Structure 1
Amino acid sequence: MTFIRTLCVSLAFAGIAAPMVAAEPLRIVIDEGMIEPLPFAAPSFVAENPGAAEVAAAMTEVIVADLAGTGLFREIPSSAFISQVTSFDAPVSYADWKAINAQALVTGAVAATSDGRINVKFRLYDVFSDAPLGDGLQFGGGQGDWRRIAHKVADQIYARITGESAYFDSRVVYVSESGPKDQRLKRLAIMDYDGANVQYLTDSSTIVLAPRFSPAGDRVLYTSFETGFPRIKLMDIATVSSRALAELSGNMTFAPRFSPDGGTVVFSLEQGGNTDLYSMQLSSGQVSQLTNAPSIETAPSFSPDGSQIVFESDRSGNQQLYVMSAGGGEPTRISFGEGRYGTPVWSPRGDLVAFTKQHAGRFHIGVMRTDGSEERLLTASFLDEGPTWAPNGRVIMFTRETSGAGGAAQLYSVDISGRNLRKVPMEGAASDPAWSPLLP
């Protein structure tokens, strides 16, 4: 990863239209090399009235955590500041920020309104160019939306400096686990990408597995053992209501995933001891068989354009990865390294497939090109499995479970270069994460 110094514009969100000024940003070019994180300063946002003080401080903390959590940015602590920002419109003393080696400066202000809303404005500065990166703009939202607004501010800063799309204003659906290791209680839960705002979607009366977001982020597919056998259910997030997919002639249905347009579900169906891949049109319930082999085909995932499916199969004697047309047909094997491969997931960028690999008693999360070339293992542990992609295709979240009777599953993230391995800050055990698209 390298730096290119250029200029950028200021940022708008929350549905408020604003003209953008043509300019170029402080730029981090992300490649596979190592990087010295870009030092930035983010003084606590100014509270423009008494009712905004708590929200202003909390928003600043979230923005800093988002940026620093990527491993691409390094916060300069406030104890090092020479200048203090007490007014959003006060001139910037660039020499003071240069003296502490800040390359970027973020300033902002928050005002609370009498109708329960907050107005937020911020600017991004290129310290060494002695220039603001565009005009300051004002954004608005409900006071209860302050975390989302903070994530959106951080998203815009990240996107402008890296040139990549962002991922902070997103959610993760996962399986929340409790109880002893041999008698785990499991229920579906949803949270912000950073572990905040946890909400439970099901109770723990039945085992649930493998939740998967729809492309619009408004529905979730998952596998339920409510009937004693695995069955696919479809949940509406807004109403937290779910229904089973159309009954199929088979003992088990599992491992579902949406097509990119949200109109089709691909899944595994077991019949007579054999497991193949099928697809279902949600509007009509029409089912098509995609594979027909005396082996186990499962964990399907569509390419972003919907034309292909990657999946795991043991047709070669052990678990390997294959790619075929979304309509079925003869698959092509893409994994050829030592060990077993499973749970493939196509990157939203279309360039990589993430997977779980088991070899020599260790589990790994890895990525490879869609033709199987350039395999890279990003992690190694007692048990790493089930990768899911951030909306920008640059970060992967997965389940890591520790060994022993007291071992528990936790969620971790890592970027695609294998850097910045981080535990997701959350309470309790968790597994089977699935990342949503960016929220609207």
Structure 2
Amino acid sequence: MHLGPLLFIVLALVALAPAPVALAQSGPLRIEITEGVIEPLPYAVPLFIAETPDAAQYAADITAVVTSDLTGTGLFRDIPASAHIARITSFDAPVAYADWKAINAQALVVGAVSVSNGRVTVKFRLYDVFSGTEMVGQQLGGSATSWRRIAHKVADAAYSAITGEGAYFDSRVVFVSETGAKGARQKRLAVMDYDGANLQYLTDSSTIVLSPRFSPTGDRVLYTTFETGFPRIKLIDVAAVSGRFLADQPGTMTFSPRFSPDGARVVYSLEQGGNTDLWVMDIASGAASRLTNTPGIETAPSLSPDGSQIVFESDRSGTQQLYIMPVAGGEAARISFGDGRYSTPVWSPRGDLIAFTKQTPGRFHIGVMRTDGSEERLLTASFLDEGPTWAPNGRVIMFTRETPGAAGEVRLYSVDISGRNLKLVPTPGPASDPAWSPLQP
């Protein structure tokens, strides 16, 4: 597929270093990166055409979601309809490239929506305006209630074609929804689309819940619950909202669970007799084995995408630091050596980076480093930032931020791995402990 000059933006996306970089090409598109700032790509999404009488509202809503998805990345700038010269009246009409060039639209998304027997069908095409070529053309369909997912898939296709990056809009986030004053907050698990829509509660607020984690297929969630009076791991089915306890060993506390990449096992922390180590358990059989055996506290395990290694935090050196070890156990190698304390490491879905929380005097940060500990970069700085989770494509990180003061409200934020585009994630109220799902099937 010919991507034309729009493919050039991928060079900006893979630039991780904050040093000033100038990128140019012979074509009309020019991407500038200055101290990590990328000039957004101007694009246009004319109102999708309603091809059946009852499709007008769906067309308007789908157009709005596609625009919100693309603009929300910080990589694209929507050209408003009031500036459009050309008018799209037919999905199959020839594109008036000269009119779109005149308003500097470098990408154009054209779509049409029809409704029949309770199903919505969306056709769309993505054009590279300056080369005058079609980049993507697809038709998607589903039930009328799934129109938002269809819109996310349209935006995903456009985003991936332009950037060369994986999709992530058609995904969900599980998190802890909080109510009440600081120190007496009630917490319950909730799940929503990545942009805050379609909220669903998975538990009530009768007990403390922590650290939810999606399965690799997105249909199950692991979390820590205090419903028996002390921390225990529970596995819940998202659709049925039913669950069961895991790793139930008498006289122990279990917490900080995470699925293996194949979804068959869970790695977690187990405290017994004042000592906390990492364990792994087969979900089907319940067979568990110990991975570490040190006097330190070992917690927050996260497996590499290929399942061969585990990154975790430990205070075995005297302060919280990050370590990597083989999944079968054995010698652990320390990878964090900067000033401050490191915690909550999470392996990128692409396998190239590890995100973490870092605490320095008076500040908390979300950062990333290579898997050998090199090229550490801090993406945020705040009174309290913690608990990173990766988008399915490994390009965006979501985390918890707490504001200072007596109220100490907690909210979810996201940031690009370049350190750009820090923004609040919409939730119905205070929220913490986000975990991003894989792309939905």
Calculate the TM-score normalised by the size of structure 1: 0.93
Q: In the alignment, which residue of structure 2 is the partner of 1:433?
A: 434
Deviation at 1:26, TM superposition (A): 4.1
Q: In the alignment, which residue of structure 1 is the partner of 2:24?
A: none
1:129 to 128, 131, 136: 131
Query: Residue 157 of structure 1: SS of its match in structure 2?
Result: helix
Q: In the alignment, which residue of structure 1 is the partner of 2:179?
A: 178
Q: In the alignment, which residue of structure 1 is the partner of 2:221?
A: 220
Query: Residue 247 of structure 1: SS of its match in structure 2?
Result: coil
Deviation at 1:132, TM superposition (A): 2.5
**2:363–2:383 contact (8 Å) kept in structure 1:** yes
Q: In the alignment, which residue of structure 2 is the partner of 1:12?
A: none
The 2-side partners of 1:419 and 1:24 are apart by 23
Query: Residue 268 of structure 1: SS of its match in structure 2?
Result: strand
The one-character-per-residue Cα deviations of 1:350-406 (angstroms, maximum 9, x if unpaired) are 111000000011000000011110000000000000000000011000000101112
Which one-letter code corresponds to 2:128 in the other structure? D
1:111 to 114, 123, 148: 114
Which one-letter code corresponds to 1:292 in the other structure? N
**1:215–1:261 contact (8 Å) kept in structure 2:** yes
Does residue 237 of the first structure (1) align with residue 238 of the second (2)?
yes
The 2-side partners of 1:386 and 1:274 are apart by 23
Query: Residue 130 of structure 2: SS of its match in structure 1?
Result: helix
Does residue 48 of the first structure (1) align with residue 54 of the second (2)?
no
Which one-letter code corresponds to 1:351 in the other structure? D
Deviation at 1:38, TM superposition (A): 0.9
Does residue 72 of the first structure (1) align with residue 67 of the second (2)?
no
1:113-262 matches, cutoff 5 A: 113=116, 115-133=117-135, 136-262=137-263
Q: In the alignment, which residue of structure 2 is the partner of 1:311?
A: 312
- RMSD value, Cα: 1.3
1:396-415 matches, cutoff 5 A: 396-415=397-416
Does residue 264 of the first structure (1) align with residue 265 of the second (2)?
yes
The structure-2 alpha-carbon separation of the partners of 1:133 and 1:330, relative to structure 1 and needing over 3 Å to count, comes to: closer
Greater shift, 254-263 or 24-33, is seen at 24-33
**1:365–1:387 contact (8 Å) kept in structure 2:** yes
Deviation at 1:131, TM superposition (A): 2.6
**2:135–2:161 contact (8 Å) kept in structure 1:** no
Greater shift, 88-97 or 300-309, is seen at 88-97
**1:250–1:271 contact (8 Å) kept in structure 2:** yes
The 1-side partners of 2:228 and 2:101 are apart by 64
Q: In the alignment, which residue of structure 2 is the partner of 1:14?
A: none
Gaps spanning 5+ residues in structure 1: where? Answer: 1-5, 9-22
The 2-side partners of 1:388 and 1:247 are apart by 27
The 1-side partners of 2:417 and 2:7 are apart by 22
1:15-30 matches, cutoff 5 A: 26-29=7-10, 30=13
Gaps spanning 5+ residues in structure 2: where? Answer: 17-32
Deviation at 1:171, TM superposition (A): 0.3
The 2-side partners of 1:140 and 1:242 are apart by 32
**1:7–1:25 contact (8 Å) kept in structure 2:** no
1:316-331 matches, cutoff 5 A: 316-331=317-332
Q: In the alignment, which residue of structure 2 is the partner of 1:15?
A: none
The 2-side partners of 1:171 and 1:140 are apart by 20
Query: Residue 189 of structure 1: SS of its match in structure 2?
Result: strand
Which one-letter code corresponds to 1:176 in the other structure? S
The 2-side partners of 1:183 and 1:126 are apart by 54
**2:247–2:281 contact (8 Å) kept in structure 1:** no
**2:278–2:291 contact (8 Å) kept in structure 1:** yes
Q: In the alignment, which residue of structure 1 is the partner of 2:87?
A: 84
Query: Residue 54 of structure 2: SS of its match in structure 1?
Result: helix
**1:229–1:251 contact (8 Å) kept in structure 2:** no
Deviation at 1:133, TM superposition (A): 2.5
The 2-side partners of 1:93 and 1:407 are apart by 53
Which one-letter code corresponds to 2:59 in the other structure? A
2:2 to 7, 14, 17: 7
Q: In the alignment, which residue of structure 2 is the partner of 1:60?
A: 63
1:291-302 matches, cutoff 5 A: 291-302=292-303
The 2-side partners of 1:257 and 1:41 are apart by 41
The 2-side partners of 1:26 and 1:105 are apart by 14
Which one-letter code corresponds to 1:312 in the other structure? E
The 1-side partners of 2:140 and 2:167 are apart by 18
Q: In the alignment, which residue of structure 2 is the partner of 1:349?
A: 350
The 1-side partners of 2:94 and 2:307 are apart by 51
Deviation at 1:24, TM superposition (A): 9.3
Query: Residue 150 of structure 2: SS of its match in structure 1?
Result: helix
How many residue pairs align between the two structures? Answer: 419
Greater shift, 28-37 or 338-347, is seen at 28-37
The one-character-per-residue Cα deviations of 1:80-132 (angstroms, maximum 9, x if unpaired) are 1111112212221111111100000001000111x101111011111111233
The 1-side partners of 2:139 and 2:439 are apart by 21
The 1-side partners of 2:420 and 2:261 are apart by 29
The 2-side partners of 1:26 and 1:291 are apart by 46
2:39 to 33, 36, 39: 36
The one-character-per-residue Cα deviations of 1:234-293 (angstroms, maximum 9, x if unpaired) are 001111101001421333100000110111111001110111111101121111011111
Q: In the alignment, which residue of structure 1 is the partner of 2:27?
A: none
**2:365–2:385 contact (8 Å) kept in structure 1:** yes
Deviating 4+ runs (over 6 angstroms):
none
**2:5–2:128 contact (8 Å) kept in structure 1:** no
The 2-side partners of 1:390 and 1:427 are apart by 21
Query: Residue 207 of structure 2: SS of its match in structure 1?
Result: coil
The 1-side partners of 2:62 and 2:85 are apart by 22
**1:175–1:209 contact (8 Å) kept in structure 2:** yes
The 2-side partners of 1:94 and 1:44 are apart by 17
Query: Residue 9 of structure 2: SS of its match in structure 1?
Result: strand
Deviation at 1:138, TM superposition (A): 2.6
Calculate the TM-score normalised by the size of structure 2: 0.93
1:89-100 matches, cutoff 5 A: 89-100=92-103
